[in-house]
Structure 1
């Protein structure tokens, strides 16, 4: 299932992140694709804040991963932009993060191709007029259900 959404401005992107967080129910693997400056980190920030993060949500550009332990939900925010070789992920013990009970948000997933597991949900962000067009594609049963939940949330209000 694919779902097309639009967001104009940072607040709209953050709000959409909240809907995505609720629909994911705190677990899954999410690929965030799009050019530099499209709002991948802003959307991630919305997701992480909606799950209970009170402090700052920083971009993991230099650390590759930022962990957030939010009660019963563990979120791992990856930014693979600076990754030179996918095998570097193996040295980080990356497979341990992909436990079915964690939520992994992965920016620039193509850089980890061959090491990363299949995404439950792929979100592709592109420019559209003054805002952003987000295409959400469910790749697994969990991803499909997530898209349906978001569609329902958006239609209700």
Structure 2
């Protein structure tokens, strides 16, 4: 799936996340989300996680690297790779990669070779001149 969306508001980014959660997550268990600081990665992830049935507050895992959510039907791992130094450190997190019933949402996946990894669907959030965001989704 290759798509591009122009997003103007935080609410639109959250709604796109909900759409991705419903359509994409069933096809791939790992989403690698990249974009500059403040681009809207966590907002997108909040929408994805919300669409999967999580009612709790979703925050960035910047300091603890991984936050885990469980809906009873699916386990969700929200990962922030900003402070990881290698792909091996990502693998050392011992996430259930490629296992059915698990969703792994990786912020800053572009900092590691995750973006080239066959199990991941790449999502790139690009800042636009007018404060809008261009979100490119590709396999």
Q: Which residue of 1 aligns with 2:73?
A: 72
Q: CA distance change for structure 1 residues 93 and 103 in 2, over 3 Å: closer, same or farther? A: same
Q: Give unpaired runs (5+ residues) of structure 2.
A: none
Aligned to 1:101: 101
CA separation in 2, counterparts of 1:11 and 1:35? 19
Q: Does 1:91 align with 2:74?
A: no
The reply on whether 1:12 has 2:38 as its aligned counterpart is no
Partner of residue 23, structure 1: 23
RMSD: 2.0
Q: Secondary structure at the match of 2:85?
A: coil
Under a length normalisation based on structure 1, what TM-score does the superposition of the two structures give?
Answer: 0.77
User: 1:72 Cα deviation (Å)?
Assistant: 0.6
The alignment covers a number of residue pairs equal to 136
Contact 1:6 1:132 in 2 (8 A): yes
**1:75-112, CA deviations, whole angstroms, 9 ceiling, x for partnerless residues?**
11111001123322343223x34413311111111333
**What is the distance in 2 between the residues matched to 1:24 and 1:103?**
11
**Offset at 1:9?**
1.2
C-alpha distance in 1, partners of 2:120/2:92? 24
Instruction: State the secondary structure of the residue aligned to 2:60.
Output: coil
Contact between 1:21 and 1:51, CA under 8 Å: does it hold in 2? yes
Aligned match of 2:45: 44
Q: Please identify runs of 4+ aligned residues in structure 1 that moved more than 4 A.
A: none
Richer in helix (by share):
1
Provide TM-score, normalisation by structure 2: 0.86
Distance change (3 Å), C-alpha of 1:110 and 1:7: closer
Partners in 2 of 1:112 and 1:51 — Cα distance?
26
In 2, are the aligned partners of 1:86 and 1:111 still within 8 Å (CA)? no
Structure 1: gaps of 5 or more residues: 140-157
